[in-house]
Amino acid sequence: MERVWRGRKQNFWWVNHIVYEYGANGRLKQPVHVVVCEETWEEVDDDGQIMTKSSRHAWLSSEPLTKKNIHERCNRMARSRWGLENDILKEKHHGYHYEHIFAHEWNAMKGYHYLMHIAHFVNELALYSVGIAEQVEEMGMVGFLSFLRSTIAGPWLNLERIRQMLQQPVQLRLTA
């Protein structure tokens, strides 16, 4: 399947239901779904020359891949995860200066590091959960954050209802 996304010409192909065998003598089996994306784009180099660049990405999915979900799963979800891994690199080496601000107190440094990871994780979950994704789509990110802040700060939260809800199993539905 070919498409253009953010100025990159992409070519996707995928295979569903590959059985991955592992464990002693391949006793354990797990179906996986594999997608590969080859993409090309143009950039201007330091001398003003147009350079054609290319890359290849491959991802595994626990859910079958289709024409309808390939863009969402690969360009939006998988690349976000890859972005998070790059953010960890930034947190450690580029711009956050762990070695300066928090290095004097090891526990403070660890706490900050864990909080950063939790914040990234919660942000990604929130952006891809069905209910929140619909709200963000409708209100925009700034509008949603304003709504969230006023809801949390507002006096209308019913603590008894919240306690009851916390006693029930929680189900988080993610967008495809």
32-61 confidence digits (pLDDT tens): 999 999 999 999 988 899 999 999 989 888
Residue 18 domain-assigned (yes or no)? yes
Residue 131 domain-assigned (yes or no)? no
Residue 86 domain-assigned (yes or no)? no
pLDDT reported for residue 113 = 75
pLDDT reported for residue 67 = 93
Residue 120 domain-assigned (yes or no)? no
Nearest to 98 by CA among 122, 114, 121, 118: 114
Residue 118 domain-assigned (yes or no)? no
For the chain, how many structural domains are there in total? 1
Residue 82 domain-assigned (yes or no)? no
- Work out the burial of residue 36: count CB atoms within 10 Å of its CB; fewer than 13 is exposed, 13-18 middle, 19 or more buried: middle
Taking the C-alpha atoms of residue 20 and residue 114, their distance in angstroms, rounded to an integer, is: 33
Residue 167 domain-assigned (yes or no)? no
DSSP 129: B
pLDDT reported for residue 89 = 66
Domain hosting residue 38, numbered range: 1-77
Q: Please, are residues 158 and 164 in contact by the beta-carbon 8 Å criterion?
A: no
Residue 152 domain-assigned (yes or no)? no
Q: Please, are residues 35 and 59 in contact by the beta-carbon 8 Å criterion?
A: yes
pTM of the model: 0.47
**pLDDT band at residue 123 under the 50/70/90 scheme:** confident
Residue 171 has pLDDT above 70, yes or no: yes
DSSP 120: H
